[in-house]
Amino acid sequence: MSARAWPSREEWQAKAEYAVRTACTKYERLERAQPDTVWFSLAEDQEFEDLAAPAAAEFRTLLTAEITRLRAQLPDRPKEGRARNAWFVALEGQAYEDACNLGALEEMRRDVQRSRRMGHWGVVCWQLGRVRKNYTQIALPDHLVRGHDRMLELQAAAEKRRDEAADAIQQSAIDREVVRRATDEAWAQELERRAAIDHPRVIRVGLTPTSERDEMT
């Protein structure tokens, strides 16, 4: 088997940036460098909670109202288990759509309640966004929409900081790799790596190498 065609030293050096960018995502690199960093300021974090906590309670009330309406449209819906599965499979048309929406909203309400209890306010914001985008049957009051818009602004500001930090970490890694690949030592290591790939060491299981057999006799 012939050895593969490896890039020249110049080509290898030129791909330093590509190697860094494809080794992992910039966010994985950032997490290793700055694990568990919070990108909200304390003031932003408090403002987000002050918006999300009352929004969660009001949102849950709105979900309950719509769930109650849909349940009234499906009075023969079994409580759970195989009976419900069989009932659901047999549905058609509007009844099928109502059943799908009902199940999704019940799960959403549980998620909102659980997130409210645990203080996972980002989940509340996300679920509000889902309803605004995909379920217009629930009319959110103006103040709740404005509060959600502000939560999105706060999230965007934090994400911008995270993104900028990730870009900086990645660029620093690229700069270091460019410098490293310009050295003779790095090139020698690359040649060793290629040789190991082209001519891998074969270890035969159950056979003792010749040198070791000689030592045993």
Reported as a single tens digit per residue, the pLDDT across 133-161 is 999 999 999 999 999 999 999 999 999 99
Residue 60 neighbours by CB under 8 Å, 6+ apart = 109, 112, 113, 116
Residue 215 pLDDT grade (very low, low, confident, very high; cuts 50, 70, 90): very low
Percent of the chain exceeding pLDDT 70 equals 93
**Is the distance from CB of 36 to CB of 162 less than 8 angstroms?**
no
Instruction: Please report which confidence band the pLDDT of residue 40 belongs to, taking 50, 70 and 90 as the band edges.
Output: very high
Count of C-beta atoms within a 10 Å radius of residue 166: 19
Domain locations along the chain:
1-37+172-217, 42-140
Write down the pLDDT at residue 126. Answer: 97
The whole-angstrom separation of Cα 210 and Cα 118 is: 65
Q: What is the mean pLDDT of residues 189-193?
A: 96
Model confidence at 17: pLDDT above 90: yes
Res. 212: pLDDT tops 70: no
Is the separation of the CB atoms in 15 and 190 below 8 Å? no
Name the least confident of 5-14, 30-39, 40-49, 203-212. 203-212
Q: How many CB atoms lie within 10 A of CB 158?
A: 18
Cβ count near 149 (within 10 Å): 11
The predicted pLDDT at position 65 comes to 97
* Chain position carrying tokens 């939560």: 151
Give the burial string for 36-69 (b: 16+ CB within 10 Å, else e).
eeebbeeebeeebeebbeebbeebbebbeebbee
pTM: 0.79
Contact 159, 39 (CB under 8 A): yes
